[in-house]
Amino acid sequence: MDREFLTDLFADFGPVTLRRMFSGYGISADGTNFALALRAGLYFRADEETIPQFEAEGCGPFQYQTRAKTVTVNSYWQLPARLFDDAEELAVWARSALGAAQRAALRKRPRKRPAAPKSKTPVKKAAAKKTAGTKITAKSSTAQKKRVPRKRPSS
């Protein structure tokens, strides 16, 4: 499938963005990737709401082979071949796929970075840099840091 064919195929759906991906294209609308056009066929994003439609058409999920096993990607399902001849119904399926992709994006939570382990030993070099040019003055019983500019020797 080339760019021109895919652009024509999605004409009833609306404008799509095609980006080179693997052996084909990633297809997106409104910044959300909802389809893959690969050598093996055209795959639409699917979720628990849309998978029954694909199953009713006898379609299966995207699969690829590694040296050790076959990997199944349940989030993308092959488009029924009959839709290549029915642009209006393909647009309906594409909207469902875009909806599935948007729902998946909402479910993703931002990952929290693990907290850096706290060091039990003080870092002397960093402390020395922070206090350079700082004069410690005593005020009552607590010491406070007061920034005092360094005097440069006159030449």
* Euclidean distance between CA atoms 115 and 31, whole angstroms: 32
pTM above 0.85, yes or no: no
Cβ 22 vs Cβ 38: under 8 Å: yes
Domains of the chain: 3-107 (3.30.1460.30)
| Structure confidence by residue, pLDDT tens digits, 51-93 | 999 999 999 999 988 999 999 999 999 999 999 999 999 999 9
pLDDT score recorded for residue 143:
52
| Structure confidence by residue, pLDDT tens digits, 17-59 | 999 988 899 999 999 999 999 988 999 999 999 999 999 999 9
Choose between 59 and 134: higher pLDDT: 59
Of residues 56, 24, 57, 65, the one with CA closest to residue 41: 24
Q: Which secondary-structure segment (H or E) carries 34?
A: strand 32-38
pLDDT score recorded for residue 54:
96
- CB neighbours of residue 83 within 10 Å: 19
